[in-house]
Structure 1
Amino acid sequence: MKDSRPSLILFIVAGTLALLAKILDMEMLMIVAKPMVIPAIFYYYLQTKTRRTNLLFSMALWLFFVSDMIMVLFPVSGMPWIMITSMGSYLILLKFAVADRAALKFSAFNVIFITLLLILLGYILFTILNLNIDSIVTNYVMYLSYGIVLIMLVAVSAVNYLSDNSAVFLHLSCMATCILVSDLFFCINRFMIQLSIIDDINLFSQFMSYFFMVKYFTARRKLPQRQPELK
């Protein structure tokens, strides 16, 4: 395994600069810093992986990159494409999470927790969908599909971790949680209350989701009875 510290440091520096650009409202710095974030974390993945590069996983990361660039260049008009590319990444991650599923452990706590989680996420989704906003009304089916895929990713990640408290599923759950927080705070900032701190949390959670995404994928090699096509 190669030295991964330079790539990790580059990711941290790029993410920090992007956050500073958002906080200080420096558009030029954002244009320079944000495009460096995913290439840096992808390079970190290449340095830490122990087997050949997984093309499906790489596609998920680079779809996030496309989504980020559309957000930087066309934050309003590019919203449908942002959702399409991000949902493509979520579907790939969901495929891995399902393939890696642990043996289910049915207990009162697990059943109650997952039920409450689904109820809460479903309530949040339909609260957002019922906002009387033109972009949501016009793209209702897309927002609904996006929300359902995200809820499935969070739910499967939670079930996996509740069934097997390993580092692999901890990274998976952290990734899904960061994605959820990022998207939720994005919606709050875009459709409800526009506060800089909300947008900052969205961006920080987004960058952390990329980190946990790579940590999950490098750790999942240790899982037994892997799906051959997903290696």
Structure 2
Amino acid sequence: MIKVNSAIVLFIIALVLYLLSIIINNDNLELFSKPIIIPSIYYYYYTKVKGKINFLFTLSILFFFIAEILKILNEEDFLISSLVFFGLPYVIVTFFLAQDFLYYSKVKNYEINSISFYIILFLLFYLLYNILSFINESSQLEFSIYIIYGILLLVMSIMGFLIHFNFDNKASTYMVYMVAFFIVSDLFFIFTKSTKDVWVIKIVYVLSQQLSYYMYINYFVSRSKLFPHLKS
């Protein structure tokens, strides 16, 4: 019999209900389901590490949760605040990836002979430039935050793909998926600001964002098993 983690079941149920709330435009269902998602996925992490939690990682999850709650309360009024709280975990994730990158560099030198890496790098620069050009109605502060987001995502992508191309393991695989979902969710967040009535775009945004949490949790669980000596 397949053993299913109860926290993952709760995460899936809450996510499905949240997606349903968007489709049927039900604020009460969203208010009920959305706050369950991050705590359930964090409890999954807690059970996986058997209570030996990482403080910095836990702080990053807390920042994500605060940002999500601010969006529920009032997305327009708390836009800048939620962007800051969404951005703080990116700084922490970048720190984790930098730790990984430096550790792997001691194992062997990085090789970037794959043409795929250069194609991905070009696409990332092209995507960043076009997305920033697409944003033309934001305040100077909001635009500056988007630039910081773009830089962090670019740094995460370069380190993540370099690690994955040279050290293909479970942690690096989740790492790449995590960064990819970060990029997709942020990309579709920008789209939702100009196409608020298109629920399909919002569905892609929400699904990619929530899956990024799942990949982040699994990346860190795999990372903790692979590098138990790395403390934060």
TM-score by length of 2: 0.88
Give the equivalent residue in structure 1 for 2:225. Answer: 222
Superposition deviation, residue 31 in structure 1: 0.7
Matches within 5 A, 1:65-214: 65-101=65-101, 102-103=104-105, 104-109=109-114, 112-131=115-134, 133-137=136-140, 139-191=142-194, 194-214=197-217
Give me the whole-angstrom Cα distance separating, in 1, the residues matched to 2:176 and 2:17: 26
Give me the whole-angstrom Cα distance separating, in 1, the residues matched to 2:62 and 2:204: 22
- The superposition leaves residues 44-98 of structure 1 with CA deviations (integer Å, 9 ceiling, x where unpaired) of 1111114621110001111111111112222222221122111100111111111
Give me the whole-angstrom Cα distance separating, in 1, the residues matched to 2:150 and 2:135: 17
- The superposition leaves residues 13-71 of structure 1 with CA deviations (integer Å, 9 ceiling, x where unpaired) of 11111111111111110011000100111111111114621110001111111111112
CA separation of 1:36/1:52 partners in 2, compared to 1, >3 Å: closer, same or farther?
same
Q: Which piece of structure 1 moves more, 79-88 or 113-122?
A: 113-122
Q: Is the 8 A contact 1:100 1:223 kept in 2?
A: no
Give me the whole-angstrom Cα distance separating, in 1, the residues matched to 2:141 and 2:60: 27
- The superposition leaves residues 118-163 of structure 1 with CA deviations (integer Å, 9 ceiling, x where unpaired) of 3322222222322363315453222211211122122221111111
**Unpaired stretches in structure 2, ≥5 consecutive residues:** none
| Amino acid corresponding to residue 30 of structure 2 in structure 1 | M
Superposition deviation, residue 180 in structure 1: 1.0
**Unpaired stretches in structure 1, ≥5 consecutive residues:** none
CA separation of 1:195/1:57 partners in 2, compared to 1, >3 Å: closer, same or farther?
same
Secondary structure of the corresponding residue to residue 113 of structure 1: helix
Give me the whole-angstrom Cα distance separating, in 2, the residues matched to 1:96 and 1:164: 16
Give me the whole-angstrom Cα distance separating, in 1, the residues matched to 2:125 and 2:139: 16
Root mean square deviation of aligned Cα: 2.1
Q: Is the 8 A contact 1:136 1:143 kept in 2?
A: no
Give the equivalent residue in structure 2 for 1:34. Answer: 34
Count residues in correspondence: 225
TM-score by length of 1: 0.89
